[in-house]
């Protein structure tokens, strides 16, 4: 529902983002087991949903000692980016992990150019 200013109230926006991320959270175990964050970070930086500091944390932090822990942290960072993080993550899955993309969305990947790149 839009407010008088034409914007969606913050509570509804938060609820919508939670629903979007619930799809990912419901498959978190499979995702963190399958994803290699190093394959995704360049694309996610290009989409401007993570920055150099985020990439460095995910790929080089001494606290994240396994690939799975790095993938989990990447999901946490992307979730903090809201809808844009969700969209960029799905696009990266579509490009690099087609089967995971299909698992989450139920759709076949189209592998088309991103709407986020360059924004």
Q: Is the pLDDT of residue 13 over 90?
A: no
| Interatomic CA distance for residues 93 and 104, integer angstroms | 9
Check residue 64 and give its pLDDT.
97
Average pLDDT, the chain: 87
Check residue 23 and give its pLDDT.
87
Q: Which helix (H) or strand (E) holds 101?
A: helix 98-105
Q: Cα separations (Å) of 106 from 8, 9, 20, 109?
A: 27, 29, 14, 9
| Encoded tokens for 80 | 């903090």
Q: Is 119 exposed, middle or buried (0-12, 13-18, 19+ CB in 10 A)?
A: exposed
Torsion of CA 51, 44, 18, 98, to 10 degrees: -160
pTM of the model: 0.81
Give CATH superfamily name and number for 12-105.
Death Domain, Fas (1.10.533.10)
Domain boundaries, the chain: 12-105
| Interatomic CA distance for residues 21 and 59, integer angstroms | 22
pLDDT tens digit sequence for 51-93: 999 999 999 999 999 999 999 999 999 999 999 999 999 999 9
């Amino acid at each position: 529902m839009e407010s008088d200013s034409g914007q969606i109230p913050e509570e509804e926006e938060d609820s919508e983002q939670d629903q979007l991320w619930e799809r990912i959270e419901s498959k978190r175990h499979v995702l963190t087991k399958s994803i290699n964050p190093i394959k995704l970070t360049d694309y996610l930086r290009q989409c401007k949903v993570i920055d150099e500091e985020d990439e460095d944390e995910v790929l080089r932090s001494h606290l994240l000692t396994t690939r799975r822990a790095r993938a989990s942290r990447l999901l946490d960072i992307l979730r903090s980016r809201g809808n844009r993080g969700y969209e960029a993550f799905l696009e990266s899955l579509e490009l690099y992990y087609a089967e995971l993309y299909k698992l989450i969305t139920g759709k076949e990947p189209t592998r088309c150019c991103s709407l986020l790149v360059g924004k």
